[in-house]
C-alpha cells in the first residue's frame, strides 16, 4: 500500500489518543461509577453521531507530548434528537482534565463554531482546574489569555445566541465552574462538587479543612446558590435531563423551539381543574397540580425546583408548543416571593426571552416577603431588577390570575401596564393593594376587635372590590374566564402572538447579555 509507514503512524497516534490516560485510569474511573469522557459523549448524543476534532492535540510543554493525549479534553460535534450540537468533555484520566493553552483553544474553537452555525453547546465537566506548572510565571499566566486582544474575553463571556449546557460529573474546580456560570442550564450529579478552588488549595491558603461536598456539593448549589438548575441521581439520568432540556430549546435565537407531538389525553383534566383550588382563600395547594392540568401530558419540566420554592419556573408544552411558566407556589410562604424566588424568576426570564419562548404567568401571590432579613438581602433592589427584566421582555406574555394578586407583586407577575399580550382572571381572583386581613389590621389596628365576628366583618369590608370585575369593567384586564377554558385561552393567544404575528414570536433579545447567574 502506498504511504504505508505514514498510514501506520496515523493509526498509532489515533489509537493512543483513544486509550486516553491508559487502562488503569480508565478502570479507576469505572470503579468509581463514572463513565469516561468519550463514553459520556456517546451517552448524551444520538448513536454514532459524534465527529471528534482535536484528537491529536497534546500539551505544548516540552516532554509532555506523549503524556497528554487530546490534551485532556475530548470535543467535537454530534446530534441530539437529530439536531446538531457542539460538545466538549473533560478527560479526567489525562492529567485530571486540567485546563491548558491547547485545550482552551480547542474548547473555544468548538464553542465559537457552534455559536456561528447556530448549534447548542454542551460542556461535560470533571476537572481539577488550571494545569500547573504550565500556567505558572508571568508568561504562563498571560499566555492563557490567548495572546490576542479579546481572546480571553471571548472564552470567558457570552451573549446568548445558542443554548449552552454544563454537566457536573465529578469534582469540578476552576474552568468547569466558570463554564457552569456561563451556561443557561446546569445539571449536577449527586455526590459531585464544583467551586473556584478545591479543598486542598482552600486548606493550604486558608488553613480551613473542608470536604468537597461542604465546599460546593450538589445540595449547596441546588438549594442555596442556584448554580445548579437540576440534580441527577447518576450520569445516565444527567444525560437524559440534558436531552430533555434541549428538546424545549431552539437550536439558536433566530428560530422558535421545535413543535412536539401532543400526547393522548392532553387537556382532559381541564374539566376538573377547579378541584385543585381550595374554596377557602387562606388554604394552600400545590400549584404543580394545576399546571399539570393545563399543559400537555408529561411535559412539565421544572428549572431550579429546589431553590426559591415560593415560585415555580418550568417549561411545558401546550398543543405541542413550548412555553415558559412562572407560577406562584402557595405551598411555601403562602406564595409570598422571597429574594431567592426573585432571582430564580429573573434568570428564567432571561433564558426564555433569549430563545423565543413565550411566557405564561400563573398568578397567586399575596406580595413579596418583607422584614429584617429581606432588607438585609436588598429586597427592594431585587424587586426593581425583576420589574426591569419584565419590562425588557419581547416574547409573547400571557397572565392568568388564579387567586391572589396584591401590591407591587401584581405588576412583577406581568399585571396591567407590564407589557402582557393578554391578562385574564378567574372568578376566584382577588386584586388589591394588600391582603384584606393585613388591610384590616392596619386600618383598625388602634381599636382591637371585640369579637371574632367583628374581625371577620372588618376583613369583609377590606375585601370589597377585590374581585376581578372592577378591573375587567375598566379594561385594565382583558377578561374574566371560566377556569376550565384556561388551556384553550392560552392556545388562542399563542396562535395570535406567534402564528399570526408579523414577528412570529421571535424576541428582540434585550435580555441576551444579562448574567446567567446572580
The answer to whether residue 60 is domain-embedded is: yes
Q: Are residues 241 and 298 in the same domain?
A: no
441 and 491 in a single domain? The answer is no
Which pLDDT band holds residue 440 (cuts at 50, 70, 90)? low
Indicate whether 282 belongs to any domain.
Answer: yes
Shared domain check, 414 and 279: yes
Q: What is the pLDDT of residue 515?
A: 82
Number of domains in the chain: 3
Of residues 243 and 152, more confidence is placed in 243
Query: What are the strands, taking DSSP E only, across 291-386?
Result: 301-303, 311-318, 321-328, 359-365
Shared domain for 369 and 451, answered yes or no, is no
Same-domain status, 12 and 85? yes
Residue 112's pLDDT is 93
User: In this predicted model, what pLDDT tens digit does every residue of 348-376 receive, in sequence order?
Assistant: 999 999 999 999 999 999 988 888 888 88
Phi, psi (degrees; rounded to nearest 5) at 257: -60, 155
Q: Indicate whether 404 and 440 sit together in one domain.
A: no
In a domain? residue 168: yes
Diameter of the chain measured on Cα atoms? 105
Task: Clarify whether residues 419 and 441 are in a common domain.
Answer: no
Read off the pLDDT of residues 270-315 as tens digits, 9 standing for 90 and up: 999 999 999 888 889 999 999 999 999 999 999 999 999 999 999 9
Please provide the average confidence, as pLDDT, over all residues in the chain: 91
Claim to verify: residue 318 and residue 457 sit in the same structural domain: no
Sort residue 176 into left (φ over 0), alpha (ψ -120 to 50) or beta. alpha
The CATH number assigned to the domain holding 413 equals: 3.90.226.10
Residue 128 has a pLDDT of: 80
User: 300 and 189 share a domain?
Assistant: no
The radius of gyration computed from the CA coordinates of the chain, to the nearest angstrom, equals 26
Is 369 a member of any domain?
yes
Q: What is the pLDDT of residues 382-413, one digit of tens each?
A: 889 999 999 999 999 999 999 999 989 999 99
Percent of the chain predicted with pLDDT > 90: 69
Span 36-91, pLDDT tens digits: 999 999 999 999 999 999 999 998 889 988 898 999 999 999 999 999 999 999 99
Range of the domain at 221: 4-247
Mean pLDDT of 100-111: 91
Contact (CB, 8 A) for 233 and 190: yes
Residue 498 is classified by DSSP as: I
Average confidence (pLDDT) over 27-41: 94
For residues 90 and 176, state if they share a domain.
yes
Q: Is 256 a domain residue?
A: no
pLDDT for res 439: 62
If asked whether residues 355 and 456 sit together in one domain, one would say no
Does residue 452 belong to any structural domain of this protein? yes
Amino acid at each position: 500500500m502506498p504511504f504505508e509507514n505514514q498510514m501506520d503512524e496515523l493509526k498509532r497516534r489515533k489509537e493512543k489518543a483513544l486509550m486516553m490516560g491508559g487502562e488503569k485510569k480508565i478502570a479507576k474511573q469505572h470503579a468509581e461509577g463514572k463513565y469516561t469522557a468519550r463514553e459520556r459523549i456517546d451517552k448524551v448524543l444520538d448513536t454514532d453521531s459524534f465527529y471528534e476534532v482535536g484528537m491529536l492535540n497534546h500539551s505544548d510543554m516540552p516532554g509532555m507530548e506523549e503524556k497528554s493525549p487530546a490534551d485532556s479534553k475530548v470535543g467535537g460535534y454530534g446530534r441530539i434528537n437529530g439536531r446538531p450540537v457542539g460538545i466538549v468533555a473533560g478527560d479526567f484520566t489525562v492529567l485530571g482534565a486540567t485546563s491548558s493553552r491547547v485545550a482552551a483553544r480547542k474548547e473555544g474553537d468548538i464553542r465559537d463554531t457552534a455559536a456561528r452555525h447556530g448549534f447548542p453547546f454542551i460542556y461535560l465537566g470533571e476537572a481539577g482546574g488550571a494545569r500547573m506548572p504550565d500556567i505558572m510565571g508571568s508568561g504562563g499566566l498571560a499566555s492563557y489569555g490567548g495572546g490576542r486582544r479579546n481572546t480571553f474575553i471571548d472564552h470567558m463571556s457570552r451573549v446568548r445566541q445558542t443554548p449552552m449546557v454544563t454537566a457536573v460529573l465529578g469534582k469540578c474546580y476552576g474552568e468547569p465552574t466558570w463554564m457552569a456560570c456561563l451556561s443557561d442550564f446546569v445539571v449536577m450529579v449527586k455526590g459531585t462538587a464544583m467551586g473556584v478552588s478545591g479543598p486542598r488549595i482552600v486548606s493550604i491558603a486558608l488553613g480551613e479543612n473542608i470536604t468537597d461536598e461542604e465546599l460546593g456539593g450538589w445540595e449547596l448549589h441546588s438549594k442555596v446558590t442556584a448554580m445548579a438548575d437540576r440534580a441527577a441521581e447518576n450520569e445516565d439520568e444527567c444525560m437524559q435531563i440534558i436531552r430533555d432540556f434541549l428538546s424545549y430549546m431552539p437550536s439558536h435565537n433566530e428560530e422558535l423551539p421545535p413543535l412536539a407531538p401532543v400526547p393522548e389525553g392532553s387537556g382532559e383534566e381541564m374539566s376538573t381543574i377547579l378541584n385543585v383550588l381550595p374554596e377557602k382563600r387562606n388554604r394552600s395547594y400545590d400549584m404543580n397540580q394545576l399546571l399539570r392540568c393545563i399543559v400537555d401530558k408529561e411535559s412539565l419540566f421544572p428549572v431550579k425546583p429546589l431553590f426559591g420554592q415560593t415560585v415555580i419556573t418550568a417549561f411545558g408544552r401546550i398543543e405541542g408548543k413550548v412555553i415558559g411558566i412562572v407560577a406562584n407556589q402557595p405551598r411555601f410562604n403562602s406564595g409570598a416571593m422571597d429574594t431567592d424566588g426573585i432571582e430564580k424568576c429573573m434568570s428564567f426570564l432571561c433564558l426564555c426571552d433569549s430563545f423565543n419562548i413565550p411566557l405564561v404567568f400563573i398568578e397567586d401571590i399575596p406580595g413579596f416577603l418583607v422584614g429584617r432579613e429581606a432588607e438585609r438581602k436588598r429586597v427592594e433592589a431585587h424587586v426593581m431588577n425583576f420589574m426591569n427584566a419584565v419590562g425588557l421582555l419581547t416574547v409573547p406574555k400571557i397572565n392568568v390570575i388564579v387567586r391572589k394578586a396584591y401590591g407591587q407583586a401584581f405588576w412583577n407577575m406581568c399585571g396591567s401596564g407590564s407589557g402582557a399580550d393578554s391578562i385574564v382572571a378567574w372568578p376566584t381572583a382577588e386584586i388589591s393593594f394588600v391582603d384584606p386581613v393585613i388591610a384590616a389590621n392596619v386600618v383598625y389596628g388602634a381599636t382591637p376587635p371585640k369579637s371574632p365576628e367583628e374581625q371577620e366583618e372588618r376583613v369583609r369590608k377590606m375585601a370589597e372590590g377585590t374581585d376581578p370585575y372592577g378591573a375587567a369593567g375598566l379594561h385594565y384586564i382583558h377578561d374574566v374566564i371560566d377556569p376550565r377554558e384556561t388551556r384553550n385561552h392560552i392556545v388562542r393567544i399563542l396562535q395570535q402572538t406567534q402564528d399570526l404575528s408579523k414577528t412570529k414570536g421571535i424576541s428582540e433579545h434585550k435580555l441576551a447579555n444579562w448574567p446567567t447567574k446572580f
